[in-house]
Amino acid sequence: MNRTQFFYEFKLHLGCSPIAYQLQNRLKQAANLLKKGQQVTQTCFALGFTNSSHFSRCFKNFMASALVNTKNVI
């Protein structure tokens, strides 16, 4: 299987690219760590982000989209 086929199959089965999937998983972990009381900066660097501003933007967008999806289900 070549790279293009892999990306196609991945998106077909999971609904997003491998990079987006990895980012979503990292942000879910971040949400759990923050709920447990870990500081934002520690969470940011623990999950491999090198820029806290980028982490904050990604996390904010992720939480907003998760909230919208939750409201649509209810």
Q: What is the CATH number of the domain that holds 61?
A: 1.10.10
Which residues form the domain of 39? 3-73
Give the pLDDT score at 71. Answer: 47
Looking at residue 74, what is its pLDDT?
Answer: 45
pTM for this entry: 0.79
Q: Both tokens of residue 1?
A: 């299987």
- Name the 3-class secondary structure at 19: helix
The answer to whether 21 touches 14, Cβ cutoff 8 Å, is: yes
Average pLDDT over residues 10-22: 94
Neighbours of 59 (CB within 10 A): 20
Q: How many domains does the chain have?
A: 1
